[in-house]
Structure 1
Amino acid sequence: MMKFMAALAVVGLVAAAPAPVLAQKAKAGATYKAPRGPDGKHPDLNGVWQVMNTAGWDIEPHAARAALQMRPGPFVPVPAKAVVALGAVGAVPAGLGIVEGGEIPYTPEAKKKRDENRANYLSLETGDPEVKCYLPGVPRANYMHLPFQIFQSEKSMIVAYEYAGAVRNFLFTDPGPAPVDSWMGQSVAKWDGDSLVVTVTGMNDRTWFDRAGNHHSDQMKVEERWTPTGPGVMRYEATITDPATFTRPWKMSFNLYKRQGEDARLNQFKCVEFVEELMYGDLRKEPLK
């Protein structure tokens, strides 16, 4: 009984440990030395990685909520009441958010646009590009609910995303400005100690940050930091700069977790097949009932 009471006391002390003590322990974990990669010098980032958060729905802190009511129209082929009846199936899960400071520093005009996006995010015309299976862009591709895989060799690195077969090639020699804007942009990488630093430019303005309407312009620049912090854990940070949309640069951060065993693989998610009828069904000679 005495041993049992002593064990409970230890558990109580750990649970009651002040935040500064826990923060110090977390900081101590920053000295983690990850296994070396194929070049023998830098961390091995190979593997299938995935988030365990709800940032894909909303990158700001948010409570659980019902999905926005869809209005009848060309993109909603059933009455609005039938859509609302989805209930919990269409609900947005709560999340602490990944934006440092909690709130995105929009300009007044950009925040108004965010609110419009949020109200119409299911519209095929002006809504979330994810509805139409367009590529997610950066940084959104890294915190969607589907995993991605890093392929790292001695001299090159690519990232393959399960969502829509998106791919990024990390260039370790800067080729200069991107020749054209694209959905996933141009990624130029370098090592800073055990952190992989990737500067992403040349993205178009058609991607969103999440399903909550958060957006950017084609002037956005993203600086990513990928840092192993423990066995199977990697810290991802992204600093967003876009003077056309935000009043100052801002940052997001979260953990990525490495899949193990038979789960360490990508499956197919050819989402165009899932939205084909939604987008083009009205063009059928004999529309489906």
Structure 2
Amino acid sequence: MRKLFIVLFLMFLVVYTWFNYSSKTVGYVYNPITHADDYLSEKKAVLNLVTFNTLGNVDKAFQYFSRLGIKFVIGPSMSTDGMKILPYLKKYKMLSISPTISSTKLLNSGYFYSLTPSNLQIIDVFKKYLKLFEAKRILLVLDDNNREYADEFKSLLNVFEGNYVYYDDVSSLFSIEISQFDTVILTTIGTESAKIVKYIRTKDDDVRIIVSEAAFTPEFLSLGGSVVANTYAIVPSLSVRNTETELIEECERLLTDHRFLSIEQMKRFLSRSIINTREGYLYFTPDGISQKIGLYKVIEGQFKEVFLE
């Protein structure tokens, strides 16, 4: 009887420890150039977030995650950082839930889920609108600091004539003759995209500019001012109504509400279930999360949805 009591007590202790500590402790991977850093300063977290700045030593960070028994990681936000941690997710059998990663390669790896659709879906929508715009020659301005994300946009050049340039700063564009193109597509973050639009407008005031969801930020509008008027954006619905930190909060809520025991359990759940977000019910497909991807235009200092016939 005493042995049975001890066994039951130990079982209770294991369950109690898991529920009150292990299941609430997750990794938090962030890059300080994104707004993911702000989520920490806002102190909204319900879970115990063990943080790792992607500028640090990824090997040591994941060794530490592993020692703590961490199975789930929130973040990172950028696909290039996702590629950095992918080998460690595989090695330590962990799963990442990201607010904004959209690299098709990463989302097909089996180690990443994201609240942003895959580039495969997003680029298909770019093709649709470029055809409606009757684009002839396009210039892709690719983020040199996030090539894992940006390089997938090169597939547009299989459909449309044009060229691409890697962007590090505005000087990256000095050798480009903007007037050779009728459409410029930016994959850069909001602050840099505002600088690019300002530069392009000094060279050609008529060229069509389309930004990706990476530039769909308040900073793009505030830094760009009147210069970014009439710029288009192609953006998934969750990114339209939620900031990066709000999407991170959704990632945390998913883990808080379900307290998954293993990565296999989480994968099964996401493959079979509809998840409830503040924007409604969404579900995951083999190509990433399913949600509307719309066309927006800067009108009177705001992104407003527009519709083309």
In which range does the TM-score fall when normalised by the shorter chain? Answer: under 0.3
Q: Larger % of helix: which?
A: 2
The higher-RCO structure (CA 8 Å, 6+ apart) is: 1
TM-score, normalising length from structure 2? 0.23
